[in-house]
Amino acid sequence: MGLMQGMEIVKDRTTKDADEQLATALSDRMLELGLNANEELDAGLAIIAEAFRTTPGANVMLAVHGH
């Protein structure tokens, strides 16, 4: 179960050279617009952990993985 998303910010699609300046500018702008992936991720993980803690039989699975 899971969702993973990523993107590469590149100067040239052929060489795939990273465009670190643009990536930083985009990241800063996303934060200005209200995106905070860390907060959203923390909230989502807390919900997942709560589901494991409160669903009969699932807490054993959680303990096996050490979380």
Answer with the residue of higher pLDDT: 12 or 6. Answer: 12
Confidence check: pLDDT of 5 > 80: no
Q: Please report where in the chains the tokens 């998303």 appear, as a residue.
A: 5
Write the pLDDT tens digit of every residue in 27-36: 899 889 887 7
- What is the per-residue pLDDT for 55? 86
**Does residue 2 sit within a domain?**
no
**Is the Cβ–Cβ distance between 60 and 53 less than 8 Å?**
no
Domain count, the chain: 1
* Domain hosting residue 58, numbered range: 20-64
**Does residue 8 sit within a domain?**
no
Answer with the residue of higher pLDDT: 3 or 12. Answer: 12
Virtual CA dihedral for 23, 27, 33, 35, nearest 10 degrees?
A: 130
Confidence check: pLDDT of 8 > 80: yes
- Cβ neighbours of residue 61 closer than 8 Å, sequence gap 6 or more: 52
**Does residue 26 sit within a domain?**
yes
**Is the Cβ–Cβ distance between 19 and 10 less than 8 Å?**
yes
Q: Cite the beta strand spans of 1-67 per DSSP E.
A: none
**Does residue 14 sit within a domain?**
no
Write the pLDDT tens digit of every residue in 42-58: 888 888 888 888 888 77
